[in-house]
Structure 1
Amino acid sequence: MNTYEIVAMIALVLSVFLLLRVISLQSQLNEIKSDLEWLKNRPGNAGVSTSYRAKSVSSTSEVHPPHSPPMIDQATFEERILFLTHDNKKIQAIKEVREARGWGLKEAKDYVDHLENEYKQKNL
């Protein structure tokens, strides 16, 4: 291998590395945009449309395991989860429930499904 081939290989590897970094940053930017959209659409903000308003879950005893930690602001948490499901980001919603509650995958998915179904039933 001569010097030009080595330089070309290094440039190629560097280009692939930079492409992967750009993709990662784009993903982070999309998550930030989603969070900003959620904050902008929260009820109670001036000039914000209230067409998407989350409802509290009235009977969550069948969904919550007995060892779940208490949530500081349950309504805001549920709004966030419903916003993500409404925005076709159900996997992200399940992930956030798992992180916030310390639940397993099945419990978190059941909780998100329960919130989504109850919201749909109340807004028919």
Structure 2
Amino acid sequence: MPNWDHDDCDPVIEAEHTRLYRMMNRLEPVIIEGRSEAKVARAIHMLQERMADHFQMEEELFITADWASRQVMIRDHRDLLSMLAALADIPPHDGEARRRLFTDFLEALTRHDNNVDAPLFSRKH
């Protein structure tokens, strides 16, 4: 499971990402290995809601960003939320498809955090 490892960022963003990754660590086994359709659906829904709130907070904090950077952030956020929507649409019996898509989601989120969030919210610039 990836984690947030950018301690040079704004403390608000640092704390937010730490909480978000902690939540994903707790939900990952349910999403990937869950046998109960209701529990898997609830875990995915919780993650969708939390990620949407997180992205909205980031976009509000970065309202003063240059237009191109802000557009990259917003596009990434939409793509990541689309991946979670697709995850929710996977049939309950297809654990392998859930595992693959959730792994892809985590990799895309890590790229976004490393390439977009960390530079934008760094205290170095």
TM-score by length of 2: 0.32
- TM normalised by structure 1 equals 0.32
| Structure of greater Rg | 1
* Structure possessing the higher relative contact order (Cα contacts under 8 Å, 6 or more residues apart): 2
